[in-house]
Each structure stands twice: as structure tokens, then as C-alpha cells.
């Protein structure tokens, strides 16, 4: 079977169930963001050792993102056979973040993304999660998105932020601080 079909050469693509839509449809845009995030997670996994304890969770995230993409691409009235486990994964991410946070040093600062190569890619996954989340909220204005999907993608950005910090700490790499969280009020000039 050939990988190319030429059916998209005129700017159209298929949704789940066969409906055709423009390639710049917001559902396709959102899925493009989710696909980029998934590829980035694949890169992060490729940089980890095969026996790294984080591999199973990152693999689970990738698989669930595929399910999420199938749901985003499913028009109303079409049954999607891919069972969504977003709420369970959200709880798992929260548990992992709580565990990691309990082992992290408090910083009280906004941090500059970067550090080790792996933590820098985790920060990129964080920003990619945020981009996907923004696109999903735009989709939600026209085509309802399951609230559990929206929660999961929001939690993913938090997860990658904490993971990047944990990676830095595990590698004894200092975090670069930008600005303290506390905001100073300006004095009123009379």
C-alpha cells in the first residue's frame, strides 16, 4: 500500500468516519499540535535509557494522546471505538507531580527554560502542551471537546514543568532564575 493517496492535494483531509474537511479546520490544527507534542515526547523517550523508570509513563502518555487525537477528529454523531482514559491518566500525572514536587527544592522564581538537553526538551513539551491546550479550547467553541481531554492537556504542561525541574535536580544542574514570584507594587506618585 502506498503512503501517499493524493486525496489531500487540494487542501482537504478526512475526519474519523470519512467526512472531508479543510486542512486548516481547527480540529485538524489542534490535532497537528497534539501530534507535534506526541513526537516531542517520542524524542524525550529516545533520549532516556530503555530501562529508565519514566519510560512506561511517557509511553502511556503517547498512547493516550493518540486516543485524544482520534476523539478530536470524530464528528458529533459518529461513535469512536477508541476508549478514552484521560481522567485516569490525569490522576496518575497528579500523583507523579506530587511525588516529584515532594523531592524538589522550592525555588520561588520564574525559571528560564533550558539546563540539560533532556530538561530543555521537557520544557519544550511543556510549551507544546500549552499550545495544544489553546487550540483545543478554540475547537471547544465550535465542537464540544470532552472536559477530561481539556484537563489532561492542561495537566501535561504542569507535568513537563515539574519533570524538567526534577531532571535538572537529578543531574545537579543549577536552575537559572529570572524573577522572584512576589510582585512589588509601584508607589503612587502624587
Q: Where are the domains of the chain?
A: 19-180
| Interatomic CA distance for residues 125 and 34, integer angstroms | 10
Q: How confident is the model at residue 132 (pLDDT cuts 50, 70, 90)?
A: very high
Q: pTM above the 0.75 mark? A: yes
Q: pLDDT tens across 42-71, in order?
A: 999 999 999 999 999 999 999 999 999 999
CB-based contact 156:89 (threshold 8 Å): no
Q: Report whether pLDDT(7) > 90.
A: no
For 143, residues 6+ apart whose C-beta sits below 8 A from its C-beta are 26, 27, 75, 76
What's the confidence (pLDDT) of residue 97? Answer: 94
Q: Report whether pLDDT(17) > 80.
A: no
Mean residue pLDDT of the chain comes to: 86
Q: How confident is the model at residue 142 (pLDDT cuts 50, 70, 90)?
A: very high
Determine what percent of the chain is predicted with pLDDT higher than 70.
Answer: 83
Q: Which stretch of 30-44, 71-85, 102-116, 143-157 has the lowest confidence by average pLDDT?
A: 102-116
**Greater pLDDT, 31 or 78:** 31
Q: pLDDT tens across 63-95, in order?
A: 999 999 999 999 988 888 899 999 999 999 999
Q: How confident is the model at residue 3 (pLDDT cuts 50, 70, 90)?
A: confident
Tell me, rounded to whole angstroms, the distance of Cα 62 from its chain centroid.
10
For 45, residues 6+ apart whose C-beta sits below 8 A from its C-beta are 55, 58, 59, 62
What's the confidence (pLDDT) of residue 18? Answer: 72
CB-based contact 114:141 (threshold 8 Å): no
According to CATH, the topology of domain 19-180 is Hypothetical Protein Ta1238; Chain: A; (1.20.1200)
Q: pLDDT tens across 166-189, in order?
A: 898 887 867 656 555 565 555 555
Please state, as a whole number, how many other Cβ atoms lie within 10 Å of the Cβ of residue 190: 3
What's the confidence (pLDDT) of residue 25? Answer: 84
| Interatomic CA distance for residues 111 and 180, integer angstroms | 9
Amino acid at each position: 500500500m502506498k503512503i501517499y493517496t493524493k486525496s489531500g492535494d487540494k487542501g482537504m483531509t478526512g475526519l474519523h468516519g470519512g467526512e472531508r474537511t479543510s486542512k486548516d479546520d481547527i480540529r485538524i490544527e489542534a490535532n497537528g499540535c497534539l501530534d507535534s507534542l506526541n513526537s516531542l515526547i517520542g524524542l524525550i523517550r529516545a533520549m532516556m535509557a530503555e530501562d529508565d523508570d519514566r519510560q512506561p509513563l511517557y509511553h502511556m502518555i503517547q498512547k493516550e494522546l493518540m486516543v485524544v487525537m482520534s476523539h478530536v477528529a470524530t464528528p458529533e454523531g459518529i461513535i469512536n471505538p477508541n476508549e478514552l482514559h484521560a481522567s485516569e491518566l490525569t490522576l496518575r500525572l497528579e500523583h507523579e507531580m506530587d511525588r516529584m514536587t515532594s523531592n524538589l527544592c522550592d525555588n520561588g522564581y520564574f525559571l528560564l527554560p533550558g539546563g540539560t538537553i533532556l530538561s530543555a526538551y521537557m520544557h519544550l513539551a511543556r510549551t507544546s502542551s500549552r499550545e495544544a491546550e489553546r487550540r483545543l479550547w478554540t475547537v471547544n467553541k465550535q465542537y464540544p471537546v470532552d472536559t477530561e481531554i481539556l484537563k489532561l492537556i492542561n495537566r501535561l504542561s504542569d507535568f513537563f514543568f515539574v519533570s524538567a525541574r526534577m531532571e535538572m535536580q537529578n543531574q545537579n544542574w543549577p536552575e537559572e532564575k529570572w524573577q522572584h514570584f512576589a510582585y512589588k507594587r509601584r508607589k503612587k506618585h502624587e
